[in-house]
Structure formats: structure tokens, C-alpha cells
Structure 1
Amino acid sequence: MSAPVLLREGSFLTGRRVLVVEDEYFLADDIARAFRTLGAEIEGPVGEVEDALALLNGLRTVDGAVLDVNLRSASILPVARTLRSRGIPFVFATGYDRSAIDPEFEDVPLWEKPLDIPAMTRGLSGLILQH
């Protein structure tokens, strides 16, 4: 078992890209700001599945992602499957409980809204740094 990753403001994620897929503007902005504080570059935020897929298909690389489970009644699963197929770590952010997540993603960390953004940011950052 590896030691937990302790992160503070700084450059831990310098040169890393984090995709933020969230349709609540203020929450998306708060998430993006938290990752920027750690030095990450942000892709998005985007609030639609099609936009997220277009970003993923147009980018050289993304190092991690935060995915809202339900975007304007559209499932995030196509984005999750794309990330998984590329071996990119991600977390789900949702107002739903674990039962709303497809069983194929039961191993993906789930952060329930209202989000503890610092804890979620640390969690995904740890996955990115271990990757």
C-alpha cells in the first residue's frame, strides 16, 4: 500500500492537464481554480458530453478528469469509457449515490455533491501523480 499524497498549493501538477466536465458553472469554476492552485492546466470546463469528447479527441494528452455523472440528462459514460480506454485517471462528481454509476466503473472514486473540493482535488491529484 502506498503512502497518501499530501498536497498543498504549489506546482505539484505543473505540466499536467485536468479535464473538468461539469454543467454547473460556479462549481466547474471552483474545481478548475482548485486544480490551477496546484499548477495544473485546465481543459474546459465543458458542460456537455459532445464537447468533452471533442476536447479529448483534439488533445494530445489529458492527465486526469473530473466528470459530472449527469450533464443536462445526458450520461457521462461515453467520456468515462474514452478516459478508461486511454488509461487516464478520473473521478465522478455527482448528486447521486453510487447506485447511479454503471457497475463497470465501481472502482472509480465517487464524490457526492455538495463537493469537498479540496479533498476531491487531492484525491484526483494523487491518482495523477501515481499514474
Structure 2
Amino acid sequence: MTVPAFNSVAWFEFGTDQPAKVKKFYGELFDWKYELNTNIPGVNYHAALTPGAQQPAGGVWESAGAFPNYAIFYVLVQDVAETVERAQALGAKTLMEPVSDAAGVTFARLEDAAGNHFGVFSMPAQ
């Protein structure tokens, strides 16, 4: 398995109130498969498996209309909190403070200085 380098785009995510449509569209277009991920209690999240990948590369978050639909990328970083602080110093706004799921993945969402949304995440220490 190839591990992405730090500071590279390593995850994508769709937030949608129409998860079946999103999964069907990208499944048929790119032959993506999906697995239910239950690492965050109360969140319906489907990990996306792309052809040839040994592990998920993204996911579909079922919003149930709780927030507007979106598609964003996530960058793998060594330290989410430190990266959020550095981003803020460069003019970013924090949209979602760092949180960790049951598997120990820590992530946050930001808005860059030009208003674009993106995320950062780190994997648990091994």
C-alpha cells in the first residue's frame, strides 16, 4: 500500500442530501464502490473505493439537508491543530474545529484567504 506524502491531497468528500444519486453517478462514471463507515456516531458516511485502490480515497457524507451540498479535498498533515493555527495566521477561517473519530483520524475544515473550502487531516500514531 502506498501512503500519501504529508502536505498532499489524500482525501475527497461529498456532503449531500442525495447520497444515492451521488454514489450512483460516480459509481457508474468511475466504477467507484462504497462501504458504510460508522466511525462517527450519528453520521451516515460512505467510504469511496476507487479502482485499484487498496483503501478508501474519499467519502460521501449524508447531510439529510442539515447543510448545503459540497465537494472538497483534504490534505494529509502531521498535526491538524498546528496546521489550523498556521492557516489562520495566513488569513484562513476555521469552519470546523479539529475533531477525531473513533478510529483516531483527526480532521478540520477551513476556508482559505480567497474563500475556498478545504480540509486537513492526520492519521492516528502507529
**Structure 1 length normalisation: TM-score?**
0.28
The structure with more radius of gyration: 2
**Structure 2 length normalisation: TM-score?**
0.29
